[in-house]
Amino acid sequence: MNTQTVNTLLAAIADVGQDAKRGGYSRPVYSNAEITLREWFIAEASRRGLEVCTDANGIIWAWWDMPGSAKDEASRRGALVTGSHLDSVPGGGAFDGPLGVASALAAYDLLAEREAAGTLVRHRALALTVFPEEEGSRFGVACLGSRLLTGAIDPAKALNLRDAQGNTFAEVARANGLDPARMGRDEVELGRIGDFIELHVEQGKGLNSEEYTDHAGRGPAIAVGDTILGHGRWRLSFSGQGNHAGTTLMTDRSDPMIAASQSIVAVRQIAAAQDNARATVGRVEPVPGGTNVIASRVDLWLDVRHPDDAVTAMLVEKIHGQAQKFAAFEGCTVNLTEESLSATVHFDAALTRSLSGSVRRLVPDAPLLPTGAGHDAGVLAAAVPSGMLYVRNPSGISHSPEEYVEDDDAAAGVLALADALEDLL
């Protein structure tokens, strides 16, 4: 069995969307880079004889129908579905998203071999999927595609989201052949998903922590998803008096950059004082952003996560309170806008048991791992049985060019995914 296919597939897209300035990859949804990756997936799936279609929400489905199937609604209801995303964060790694998509294609190859050899007799169809805008890097809301499919976001709100250039999601979707009027929760499509499995590069120090590795650093290369930390995104917008950097005395300023900076430090202090909390400001946008200009406005984006959604809300309140104090002291104002919110996800227990049983035939000590990273599987979990597999990332670093997966671990991920899918097919 050629388990190196996944590495060959990833190598084929290694030069798509490279970001010379940031390092790594910048593949925003419906950018040239991400569209190139969509076309790559569609070509790879079509080459395998899968029936490819893109739905009203921009999700790509590649169908491996049952032998002799009518390929209609009835034959596709309750199918087994696996996939991930191809869009990235700015300056992201090569694996976050594409590893799950490439592994789905490579796992299909193994399953097709097993069916041809007669060792696999399927009872339902399999679909490989690619979800758009998982990172929310262009339109600000993570897992936009799966949220639209499940109805977790109001289509009207989604269609009015704007990217940094002011393009609405509706305009960009239309420019990519979608009809905004048809977007939103789709019962027929949800009915096609009997179970959903997402394989993903591990993000964080789980499999490579002392808990799972021996003194020689050896340990399981695969884990099964347990929970996904609740998380949300807010925008804090500080407004002050824009002015000239040279002619405005220091005593004469209402500088939103000062209030914003003090608030960013407070974010770290407030989260560090709360067990298991994570709060991050990774994006700050001064307006107008001139070197010799006192900003009139500074927007910053807050990412707060905690297992208990009430604690997340309390942390945001505390941060907002501090921001208001700093703003008032500086003669500025601040307002807080919630951009997205996801409760803590518990994956389907029966499906997770099935995944663990399958994976542990290959990797006996494969653990159940909670994660702090959001995924489409987490959004789908509210509507269909959903589960995840993680592949070891030696450094645990992600959302960075340093994200990495060893070739052998990627190959092990494909075998684990193929076995898990076979047991569910």
Q: Which is nearer to ligand HGY, 205 or 360 (CB)?
A: 205
Relative to beta strand 79-85, strand 297-306 is unpaired
Task: Name the token pair of 117.
Answer: 């050899």
Relative to beta strand 193-201, strand 222-228 is unpaired
Task: Name the token pair of 409.
Answer: 């671990």
251 CB-near residues (< 8 Å, 6+ apart)? none
CA distance 45 to 49: 7
Distances (CA, A) of 288 to 158, 256, 295: 27, 12, 6
Q: Which is nearer to ligand HGY, 149 or 295 (CB)?
A: 149
**Residue 135 lies near ligand HGY (rule: CB under 6 A):** yes
Q: Which is nearer to ligand HGY, 134 or 419 (CB)?
A: 134
Binding mask 57-96 for Mn ion (x = CB under 5 A): ---------------------------------------x
CA distance 182 to 174: 11
**Residue 153 lies near ligand HGY (rule: CB under 6 A):** no
CA distance 30 to 60: 13
Identify whether the C-beta of residue 33 lies closer than 8 Å to the C-beta of residue 87: no
Cα Rg of the chain (Å, integer) = 23
- Secondary structure letter of residue 415 according to DSSP: H
Q: Which is nearer to Mn ion, 96 or 299 (CB)?
A: 96
Q: Which is nearer to ligand HGY, 114 or 392 (CB)?
A: 392
Binding mask 327-366 for ligand HGY (x = CB under 6 A): ----------------------------------------
**Residue 374 lies near ligand HGY (rule: CB under 6 A):** yes
Partner from ligand HGY, Mn ion, none binding residue 374, C-beta < 5-8 Å depending on class: ligand HGY
Q: Which is nearer to Mn ion, 255 or 303 (CB)?
A: 303
Judged by CB under 6 A, how many residues of this single chain contact ligand HGY?
5
Binding segment toward Mn ion, per CB under 5 A, in 97-105, 139-147, 236-244, 414-422: 97-105
Identify whether the C-beta of residue 186 lies closer than 8 Å to the C-beta of residue 56: yes
Q: Which residue is nearest to ligand HGY, using beta carbons?
A: 374
- Relative orientation angle of helices 98-116 and 5-12, to the nearest 10 degrees: 140
Taking the alpha carbons of 17, 60, 98, 161 in that order, is the dihedral positive or negative?
positive
In angstroms, give the least distance from the CB of 320 to Mn ion.
26
In angstroms, give the least distance from the CB of 118 to ligand HGY.
40
394 CB-near residues (< 8 Å, 6+ apart)? 208, 404, 406
In angstroms, give the least distance from the CB of 399 to ligand HGY.
7
In angstroms, give the least distance from the CB of 345 to ligand HGY.
11
Q: Which is nearer to ligand HGY, 135 or 409 (CB)?
A: 135
What is the DSSP track for 44-92? HHHHTT-EEEE-TTS-EEEEEPPTT---SHHHHTTEEEEEEE----TTB
Q: How big, in percent rounded to 5, are the helix, strand and coil portions of the chain?
A: 35, 25, 40
Partner from Mn ion, ligand HGY, none binding residue 142, C-beta < 5-8 Å depending on class: ligand HGY
Partner from ligand HGY, Mn ion, none binding residue 366, C-beta < 5-8 Å depending on class: none
Binding segment toward ligand HGY, per CB under 6 A, in 22-30, 56-64, 134-142, 361-369: 134-142
- Fill in the amino acid letter for 384: V
**Residue 44 lies near ligand HGY (rule: CB under 6 A):** no
In angstroms, give the least distance from the CB of 135 to ligand HGY.
5
Partner from Mn ion, ligand HGY, none binding residue 87, C-beta < 5-8 Å depending on class: none
In angstroms, give the least distance from the CB of 109 to ligand HGY.
27
Which of 197, 199, 373, 415 binds ligand HGY (CB under 6 A)? It is 373
261: left (phi over 0), alpha (psi -120 to 50) or beta: alpha
Identify whether the C-beta of residue 2 lies closer than 8 Å to the C-beta of residue 109: yes
Q: Which is nearer to ligand HGY, 304 or 418 (CB)?
A: 304
Q: Which is nearer to ligand HGY, 153 or 373 (CB)?
A: 373
Structure-derived torsion over alpha carbons of residues 31, 36, 38, 39, reported in degrees to the nearest 10:
140
223 CB-near residues (< 8 Å, 6+ apart)? 202, 206, 207, 366, 367, 368, 369, 389, 390, 392
Binding mask 88-127 for ligand HGY (x = CB under 6 A): ----------------------------------------
Residues that bind ligand HGY (CB under 6 A): 134-135, 142, 373-374
Residues that bind Mn ion (CB under 5 A): 96-97
